[in-house]
Amino acid sequence: MDTTVTSPLARKLGCFVALSDAELSVLERLQVRRRPFAAGREIVHQGQSDRAVYILVSGWVCSYKTLPDGARQIVDFQIPGDFLGLRSTLLQTSDHSIESVTDIQVCEVPSGDLLAAFAGTPRLATAVLWAASRDEAMVVEHLAGLGRRAAPQRVAHFLLELGARLALVGFGTKAGYACPLTQYLLADALGLSAVHINRVLRQLRELGLVTFRDGTVVFDDYGGLVALADFDPTYLDQERPLLT
């Protein structure tokens, strides 16, 4: 099996930059140091100085900020093919914590190796800059959601965004996807209570739009849900590679 084609990160970056075989093997060499973590483990602690970045190979994690009063704001969830702590490596200190939601496999990449790979493979650096831009676009969407979207739209937008992200790396379709997130995690990400999340999910199900039950999201009416959330996936997808 050709791992250069099947690594979720290669699949994701390939949407932006048509990577050559040489560039793909640099990318794969970065991913040799694999480590498992059990569910519920803290991978990175807010404030720590990082000397490594992680690439998530399998499983789900969440990134969150803890405020001085102990409140937690989940910034985003990461899925296979996502970097963990990329921003932190560049900023030299982690501005957030990262915790595994499920059992996961990560590749640990020393910061120096990553920067050396960028220097030797500039198109790879551009592809990673794209991935970082896409991550930022997601945080901006979450900011707008938290600031300005009503609860049903916020939940619907979130489920659609996750679906589009998973589809890009081969873990979902417009029919739905497997999703290990609890209503408590959704609540901490969306600024709602778990009770409120539960009520909104029931509403969306009764409207025949989406069913999230037993670890599975089923889009009962994808178009209808997109219309409700006014979901525009252009910030997630690429129509064509920018660098060919």
Question: Residue numbers of the site for its own copies (CB under 8 A)?
Answer: 16, 47, 65, 67-68, 71-73, 75, 86-87, 90-93, 95-96, 111, 115, 118-120, 122-123, 125-126, 128-130, 132-137, 139-144, 146-149, 191, 230, 232, 234-235, 238-239, 242-243
To its own copies, the closest distance from the beta carbon of 37 in angstroms equals 22
Q: Which is nearer to its own copies, 42 or 95 (CB)?
A: 95
- Taking the complex as a whole, the smallest distance from the CB of residue 149 to its own copies amounts, in Å, to 7
DSSP assignment of the chain, as one string? --HHHH-HHHHHHHTTB---HHHHHHHHHHT--EEEE-TT-EEE-TTPPPSEEEEEEES-EEEEEE-TTS-EEEEEEE-TT-EESHHHHHHSS-SSEEEESS-EEEEEEEHHHHHHHHHH-HHHHHHHHHHHHHHHHHHHHHHHHHHH--HHHHHHHHHHHHHHHHHHTTS-BTTEEE----HHHHHHHHTS-HHHHHHHHHHHHHTTSEEEETTEEEESSHHHHHHHHT--GGGT--SS-SB-
Strands 97-100 and 42-44, by their bridges, are: antiparallel
| Identity of the residue, 52 or 86, whose beta carbon is nearer to its own copies in the bound complex | 86
Give the residue with the Cβ less far from its own copies, 178 or 242. Answer: 242
Nearest residue (CB) to its own copies, 118 versus 222: 118
Kindly state the smallest distance separating residue 67's Cβ from its own copies, in Å: 5
- In the bound state with its own copies, the residue whose beta carbon lies nearer, of 148 and 213, is 148
- Tell me the closest approach of the beta carbon of residue 148 to its own copies, in angstroms: 4
State how far the alpha carbon of 209 is from the alpha carbons of 36, 152, 184, in Å: 36, 11, 22
CB 213, min distance to its own copies, A: 27
The smaller minimum CB distance to its own copies, of residues 180 and 191, is found at 191
Smallest distance from its own copies to CB 119, Å: 4
Q: Are residues 28 and 1 in contact, defined by beta-carbon separation less than 8 angstroms?
A: no
Of 213 and 240, which CB lies nearer to its own copies in the complex structure? Answer: 240
Which two three-digit tokens encode residue 15?
């949407």
Cβ 218 to its own copies, closest distance in Å?
A: 25
